[in-house]
A and B are shown apart, each in its own frame.
Chain A
Amino acid sequence: MELWEAIKGRRSVRSFLEKPVERALLERLLEAAIWAPSGGNAQTWQFVVVTEPERIRSIKTVSPGLLGDPAAVIAVCQDLAAARERGGTLGETFLAPVDAAMATENLLLAAYAEGLGTCVVASFHRGAVGRLLALPRRVEPMLLISVGWPAEDPSAPSRSGEGRVFFEVYNGPG
C-alpha cells in the first residue's frame, strides 16, 4: 500500500467483525511499532498483546474508551525506570510518552495496510489495567490499541492546516 493512502485512509474503528487476527499478523504490527523513532534511542517501550476474550472483557470493564469487541488489544507500555535511567527526567516525563505515541502511529499504519481496523484508547484506568496485565510497578501502560477486522468504514473528519501550520515564524506572512 502506498504510504499516503495509509496516512489518509486510516480511521479510528470502533466496530469489529467476530474474526480472530492471527498471531503472525499481530507480530508484524509489533515489528512496525519497534521500528519507530525513539528519543535518545532509549527504546524503553514494551507491548502486551491480549487476545483472550475473557481478558479483553476484563480490560474493557475498566476502559471506558475501549469500544466495540476487538479481536486483540495491545497495551503500549513504557518502562519508566529504564526511561529515567537513560534519559533523566526528560526521558521519563516527555520522551517516554512521545516514543509510545510514535510507535503507536507506526502500528496503526501497518495495521491499516493489512486491512485491519484500530482505535487508540487513552480512557482507561492505568492502575486497574496494570493489575490485569500483571505489569511490574515500573512499567506504565500509556495507551491501549484495539485491533480487529473492521465492521465499519468511518468517514474522515475534516482536516486543515489553516491556523495550525506556519512557515519561518509563528503566524508569519507565509
Chain B
Amino acid sequence: MGQVELEERLFGLIGYMVTSGRNLLDETPLYGPFRLVDAASRLILLLEDEEIISSRLSTIRERIDAGKYSVMTSPGEFRTFLDSLVDALVDHMNPGKGKEVIRGKRIGKNKTNTGVNLGGE
C-alpha cells in the first residue's frame, strides 16, 4: 500500500472514531463498545494490509468480526462476546503465544501468507 492510500485509509478510520464520538452522545450506549471493538478490528485489518501481521492480532480481529453484530440482536450475547474477547487477550499475553510478527500479504479476509519472520518477543 502506498503512503497516499495508507493516509486515506487512516483518515477513514480516524473519521469513523471521531464521528462515533460525536454520534454516541445521542445513540444507544451499547453502540459505544461496538464502535470501540469495530475500530480495533479495522485497525488490525489496516495493519494486515500494510503487511504487518501477527497471528494473535489476526485471531482477535477474526473473533471481533465473528461476534460484533450480536449487539444488534442480543445485549446479553454481546456482553458474553466482549468478555470472551478480553479472555482471549489475556490468553495471548502468555509468553510466546502468537506474538511473532510476520511480513506477508493477506490473502482474502482471514488467511495470511507466511513470510519473513521479523522476530517475536
- A-side residues, CB < 8 A to B, are 12, 14, 57, 60-64, 123-125, 128, 157
Contact = CB atoms under 8 A, between A and B. Distances in A.
B19 A64 contact: yes
A63 B16 CA distance: 7
Q: Which 7 A-B pairs have the closest CB atoms?
A: A61-B15, A64-B20, A157-B73, A62-B19, A61-B12, A125-B19, A64-B19
**Residue from B8, B19, B27 whose CB has the most chain A CB atoms within 10 Å:** B19
B23 A123 contact: yes
B12 A57 contact: yes
A64 B16 contact: yes
Nearest to B31: A123
Contacts of B20: 64, 123
Contact of A61 (B11, B23, B69, B72): B11
Contacts of B19: 61-64, 124-125, 128
A125 B20 CA distance: 9
Contacts of A123: 20, 23, 27, 31
A58 B116 CA distance: 35
Candidate in A60, A61, A64 with the most chain B CB atoms within 10 angstroms:
A64
B35 interface: yes
A64 to B, nearest CB: 4
Contacts of A128: 19
B72 A64 contact: no
B23 A64 contact: yes
A14 B41 CA distance: 15
12 contacts: A60-B12, A61-B11, A61-B12, A62-B15, A62-B19, A63-B19, A64-B20, A64-B23, A64-B31, A123-B23, A125-B23, A128-B19
Contacts of A61: 11-12, 15-16, 19
B111 interface: no
A145 B64 CA distance: 24
Nearest to B22: A125
B23 A124 contact: yes
Contact of B72 (A57, A62, A125, A157): A157
A125 B18 CA distance: 10
A6 to B, nearest CB: 21
Contacts of A125: 19, 22-23
Nearest to A14: B69
